[in-house]
Chains A and B, each alone.
Chain A
Amino acid sequence: MKTLIKIKPKDYKAGDIVKIDFMAMHPMETGMRKNKDTGALIPAEYIDEVKFLFNDTLITKMVIWESLSVNPLMSISFKVPGAGALKVIAKDNKGQSVESTTQITPKG
């Protein structure tokens, strides 16, 4: 699972509220689509949980369902307390899990 974390805006200070965009390459299969050739249902495969942690403290926990678009975006606000590590852990219903980390580096 490829992932991307973006902090918006790029430049921010401690105390600012920024947006954290988390994206993942994931099929988000609903379990309702059929294979065009065989007619068989394609099994559901979707990200079902995402956790955002700052310096290992949970900021936001998400329970995600198959209605999110393919290669989904999950965006939250975050009040920057200072420098530290932002970690996002995403897991899908098949047990696949991925951990992505980015550094929060306020200017000034």
Chain B
Amino acid sequence: MERRSFLKGFGAVAACAIALPHVASAAEEKKSAGPNEMNYETAVAAITGGKALVASDKVKMEAPEIAENGAVVPVKVTVESPMTSKDHVKAIHVLASKNGNVRCANIYLTPANGEAFFGTRVKLGGTQDVVAIAEMSDGTFLTAKQNVKVTIGGCG
């Protein structure tokens, strides 16, 4: 079976299957593209300039495993760093891997911050990874992610 026709049939059923969050969010993804549409790979390349992205425990990404709605998903990123002029986090980038425009925020820090931290709330179009990339003063890029399941709630 061709993937395309399978998806077509799947979509038709998906429209009725509102009780299943995964399916409903798949239908949502067909929405029109926004003005700043950018996919994950392109956004990462733009940040790192092609340098390697290293998964690291130094980056602590906090987001709920299960989000009770997609409109307000709390996200907190903390990066282990002395935040001195010699050794600090230059930037924290937050990406939502499957949003139309995956970029959420690019935070340019200075040693005056004292701690590399950024907290916010993001909109998620469906279940996906929320990714943090820390740009270190030594030119390396560290990363951490958290998968967030976006659920559909009860009455309104």
Which positions in A face B, CB cutoff 8 Å? 17, 19, 21, 28, 30-32, 41, 44, 54, 57-70, 72-79, 81
Check if B72 sits within 8 Å of A66, measured CB to CB.
Answer: no
Q: How many residues of B contact A (CB 8 A)?
A: 36
Q: Known A30-B34, A76-B117; judge A65-B112 contact (CB<8 A).
A: no
- A contact face: mostly helix, strand, loop, or mixed: strand
Q: Which of A32, A58, A69 has a CB less than 8 Å from the CB of B122? A: A69
A72 in contact with B120 (CB, 8 Å): yes
B120 touches A54 (CB 8 A): no
- Alpha-carbon distance A68/B121, docked complex (angstroms): 6
A75 to chain B, nearest CB (A): 3
Q: Are B122's CB and A76's CB within 8 A?
A: no
CA separation between A10 and B34, bound complex, in Å?
Answer: 40
Contacts of A28 in B (CB 8 A): 123
Chain A residues whose C-beta falls within 8 Å of the C-beta of B103 in the assembled complex: 65, 67
Which residues of B have CB within 8 Å of A41? 32
